[in-house]
A and B are shown apart, each in its own frame.
Chain A
């Protein structure tokens, strides 16, 4: 039982480094006016109570945990491997359980019932608002990006543009922008929905046609560049878009069918149902697309574009289609958000928003509709909870630190995501095993 071997010592060093990083991540913040070492100082030297029994400095706490973890891993390597295998089995459970169609259908029905009756259980209007704004809208965005990244394998870092197009179109057509509405006749928010979706889709075509010829990383940068350009341009046109301030006067949706009126006010629950209906619609549409010829064309393009072309599939056409379809969901998310919150600002276009959606898709499992929806729910709920209740000394701005670390760790240990699409999981596993797999252009990264 030689603990002091080089490999074990290296492992100790690594574990202690990780423990130190976690200590700083969860420790006290510094500030721009204080000395730069205050944060690190506090993170290590602050005295905390151990299990409510006695107080000792943090560095001791983390050192202890680190050493214990190292001992456990080093001494019980076989057990550690067993644990690892156990974790893998647990993570694979969802797929195992849902292989049978009957289980899948039952699960979906249960989920549907839960989701329909959810508002009865949520008493605080504050949480209901968060559910729609932070979760509902983002599920829509994640579903849309999933079509682009997951189905067609196109890395889009500017997806926020579609979201913002939907929101700004809503603001414009309802007369909330300085620019007068079309034909000087503002229309009610609800009727903007199809137009907002259409505007986003048209934009998808316009953006996609010149850029989708590019490969992997270059496509990513181009989409990013366009998103930044649009963001800046909208800010400059104060006379049309309200510039940096945007507009705060987007009216809430209202349905006036003559015999029946309904006004979505500021209670979140009606929005919840509106959002839910559309989420279900989009899930159904996207699932059928996935199974259709178009979906198969996307898979073909993803796996081997040259081969696909040789059997008569026009890659550009299908890629633009993917963009357009994804844009539809993104655009609707924008309409929804504008109607609920009533505010549109250029802040909707930022790179951060695009990356957020990407995180949801990656975390959930790109290519998998349910995975992505679940991933969105998990991350957005966690985010909302952390931001609003700040447990264990969590600071609001820390969120992206954890998301960043999560991304790195996920890519190392579980790149396929939470609920991976079967095909993608196979691709990752094969690549890991060193096989020559014809994966999509993003994955191979062939330079032009």
Chain B
């Protein structure tokens, strides 16, 4: 009886606060999607789970925070000022993250590629890079304390009310920014020469190099693209929750789940996966037993585990190595 009651009350809660959960889910989903693209692209070209990608996200977040809080003087923005600040935060966040991503590639992966190292070595190196970046950031910027960007717009600002539910500006900003950037990334991968190079290397690196594709450069471009998106996501995430040195590990696992769910190696899959994981995480909150929020995490990790065991190629994935 109690069990039934639990499910009914859960659905009831969703019914009353549907739009809130939807908005939060989409907002989180946009962050996950942008980060997931980085995981998926790198997996496509290198066959490697880039453990350090979460830290790339975190660095972009810090960059955006310091830009708006310290360099631009922590002014409360309004109207077009806010738009400008958000744009600046996203651009700088993306830029810094891209640089960090390149750094990781050059320091941790390229030397191993030169030495024909086995997969395990890449994985270990990735973990090492992740730890290194995380601890360095903690050393420089403090451990365990979330820091927030400047007040880019009025805190808690509500953009409009939908069916009686206030929808916060932050949510709309994140969703729109994510959609724009994901579309741009998709266009790059599908319609440009660079993108063709990425897809070619993902499918068959050796043949691609025979056909004249510069493997090293393509890989660098992949890291830049994934890094830029992750950095932008970092800034958007920091607007809501602040950034802390271990944000990368925590959000990274969610984003990676999204990438796997959508189909690893597939950019649209990453976007879809991000959306689904974000919504799922949000709508599972009322179903947390005794209000223990760990249950939402458990549900998400269960998805990760089940997808890997039952259908490792994910929703949109076919064989390995298809990036588009």
Q: Which residues of A contact B (CB under 8 A)?
A: 24-25, 29-33, 35-36, 39-40, 155, 210-211, 213-214, 216-218, 220-222, 224-226, 228-229, 232-233, 235-236, 351, 355, 358, 362, 395, 397-401, 403-408, 410-412, 415, 427-428, 431-432, 434, 439, 442-445, 447-448
A431 touches which one: B118, B122, B298 (CB < 8 A)? B118
Given contacts A214-B308, A214-B312, A229-B305, contact A24 B136 (CB under 8 A): yes
Given contacts A32-B147, A401-B135, contact A222 B308 (CB under 8 A): yes
Which of chain A's residues have a CB closer than 8 A to the CB of B134?
Answer: 400, 404
Which of chain B's residues have a CB closer than 8 A to the CB of A31?
Answer: 141-142
Rounded to whole angstroms, the CA-CA distance of A410 and B124 in the bound complex is 9
Rounded to whole angstroms, the CA-CA distance of A35 and B113 in the bound complex is 38
Which of chain B's residues have a CB closer than 8 A to the CB of A155?
Answer: 120, 123
Is A443 within 8 A of B298, CB to CB? no
Is A221 within 8 A of B131, CB to CB? no
Closest to B136 in A: A401
Given contacts A218-B308, A448-B312, contact A415 B142 (CB under 8 A): no
Smallest CB separation, A151 vs chain B (Å) = 14
Which of chain B's residues have a CB closer than 8 A to the CB of A397?
Answer: 135, 138-139, 143
Which of chain B's residues have a CB closer than 8 A to the CB of A448?
Answer: 312-313, 320
Closest to B304 in A: A225
The 7 A-B pairs with the shortest beta carbon distances in the complex, nearest first, are: A32-B142, A407-B128, A404-B132, A404-B131, A445-B119, A443-B118, A447-B320
Given contacts A36-B140, A405-B132, A444-B118, contact A218 B312 (CB under 8 A): yes
Rounded to whole angstroms, the CA-CA distance of A40 and B294 in the bound complex is 37
Which of chain A's residues have a CB closer than 8 A to the CB of B83?
Answer: none
Which of chain B's residues have a CB closer than 8 A to the CB of A225?
Answer: 301, 304-305, 308
Q: Convert B297-311 into 0s and 1s, putting 1 for each residue whose CB lies closer than 8 angstroms to a CB of A.
A: 110011011001100
Is A221 within 8 A of B141, CB to CB? no
Is A408 within 8 A of B297, CB to CB? no
User: Which of B6-14, B30-38, B73-81, B104-112 contacts its partner?
Assistant: B104-112
Rounded to whole angstroms, the CA-CA distance of A220 and B123 in the bound complex is 10
A236 touches which one: B48, B116, B118, B290 (CB < 8 A)? B290
Which of chain B's residues have a CB closer than 8 A to the CB of A405?
Answer: 128, 132
Q: Which residues of B contact A (CB under 8 A)?
A: 47-49, 62, 66, 70, 107-108, 111-112, 115-125, 127-136, 138-143, 145, 147, 249, 253, 256, 260, 289-290, 292, 294-295, 297-298, 301-302, 304-305, 308-309, 312-313, 319-321
Which of chain B's residues have a CB closer than 8 A to the CB of A432?
Answer: 115-117
Which of chain A's residues have a CB closer than 8 A to the CB of B290?
Answer: 236
Can you offer 27 A-B residue contacts whose CB atoms are under 8 A?
A30-B140, A31-B142, A32-B143, A33-B142, A36-B140, A210-B309, A211-B305, A214-B308, A220-B123, A221-B256, A225-B301, A232-B298, A232-B301, A233-B294, A233-B298, A236-B294, A398-B135, A399-B135, A401-B132, A405-B132, A407-B128, A407-B131, A411-B128, A412-B111, A415-B121, A431-B117, A442-B120
Rounded to whole angstroms, the CA-CA distance of A259 and B256 in the bound complex is 59
Smallest CB separation, A210 vs chain B (Å) = 6
Main secondary structure of the interface of B (DSSP, over half): helix
Given contacts A30-B142, A408-B107, A432-B117, contact A217 B49 (CB under 8 A): yes
Is B49 within 8 A of A221, CB to CB? yes
Is B249 within 8 A of A351, CB to CB? yes
Is A439 within 8 A of B301, CB to CB? no
Is A431 within 8 A of B116, CB to CB? yes
Rounded to whole angstroms, the CA-CA distance of A178 and B141 in the bound complex is 40
Which of chain A's residues have a CB closer than 8 A to the CB of B133?
Answer: 404
Which of chain B's residues have a CB closer than 8 A to the CB of A224?
Answer: 253
Is A408 within 8 A of B294, CB to CB? no
Rounded to whole angstroms, the CA-CA distance of A30 and B62 in the bound complex is 14
Rounded to whole angstroms, the CA-CA distance of A287 and B48 in the bound complex is 33
Closest to A219 in B: B308
A355 touches which one: B47, B131, B320 (CB < 8 A)? B131
Question: Which among B139, B147, B253, B308 has the highest number of chain A CB atoms within 10 Å?
Answer: B139
Which of chain A's residues have a CB closer than 8 A to the CB of B297?
Answer: 228, 232
Is B308 within 8 A of A444, CB to CB? no
Smallest CB separation, B2 vs chain A (Å) = 15
Is B140 within 8 A of A39, CB to CB? yes
Given contacts A24-B140, A403-B131, contact A442 B308 (CB under 8 A): no
Rounded to whole angstroms, the CA-CA distance of A226 and B133 in the bound complex is 25
Given contacts A229-B305, A355-B131, contact A235 B292 (CB under 8 A): yes
Rounded to whole angstroms, the CA-CA distance of A149 and B207 in the bound complex is 33
Given contacts A30-B142, A32-B145, A411-B125, contact A211 B47 (CB under 8 A): no
Rounded to whole angstroms, the CA-CA distance of A222 and B312 in the bound complex is 11
Which of chain A's residues have a CB closer than 8 A to the CB of B304?
Answer: 221-222, 225
Smallest CB separation, A448 vs chain B (Å) = 6
Given contacts A35-B70, A408-B107, A412-B111, contact A236 B139 (CB under 8 A): no
Rounded to whole angstroms, the CA-CA distance of A218 and B259 in the bound complex is 13
Smallest CB separation, B227 vs chain A (Å) = 18
Rounded to whole angstroms, the CA-CA distance of A439 and B108 in the bound complex is 22
Given A30-B141, A217-B49, A221-B308, 9 further pairs, Cβ under 8 A: A32-B143, A40-B140, A155-B120, A211-B309, A222-B309, A235-B294, A236-B290, A443-B120, A448-B312
Which of chain A's residues have a CB closer than 8 A to the CB of B142?
Answer: 30-33
Which of chain A's residues have a CB closer than 8 A to the CB of B115?
Answer: 412, 432
B139 touches which one: A39, A211, A214 (CB < 8 A)? A39
Smallest CB separation, A397 vs chain B (Å) = 6
Rounded to whole angstroms, the CA-CA distance of A39 and B141 in the bound complex is 8
Which of chain A's residues have a CB closer than 8 A to the CB of B131?
Answer: 355, 400-401, 403-404, 407
Which of chain B's residues have a CB closer than 8 A to the CB of A403?
Answer: 128, 131
Closest to B119 in A: A445
Question: Which among A32, A224, A434 has the highest number of chain B CB atoms within 10 Å?
Answer: A32
Which of chain A's residues have a CB closer than 8 A to the CB of B301?
Answer: 225-226, 228-229, 232
Is A36 within 8 A of B62, CB to CB? yes
Rounded to whole angstroms, the CA-CA distance of A412 and B125 in the bound complex is 8
Which of chain A's residues have a CB closer than 8 A to the CB of B47?
Answer: 445, 447
Which of chain B's residues have a CB closer than 8 A to the CB of A33?
Answer: 142
B117 touches which one: A226, A358, A411 (CB < 8 A)? A411
Which of chain A's residues have a CB closer than 8 A to the CB of B294?
Answer: 232-233, 235-236
Rounded to whole angstroms, the CA-CA distance of A408 and B305 in the bound complex is 28
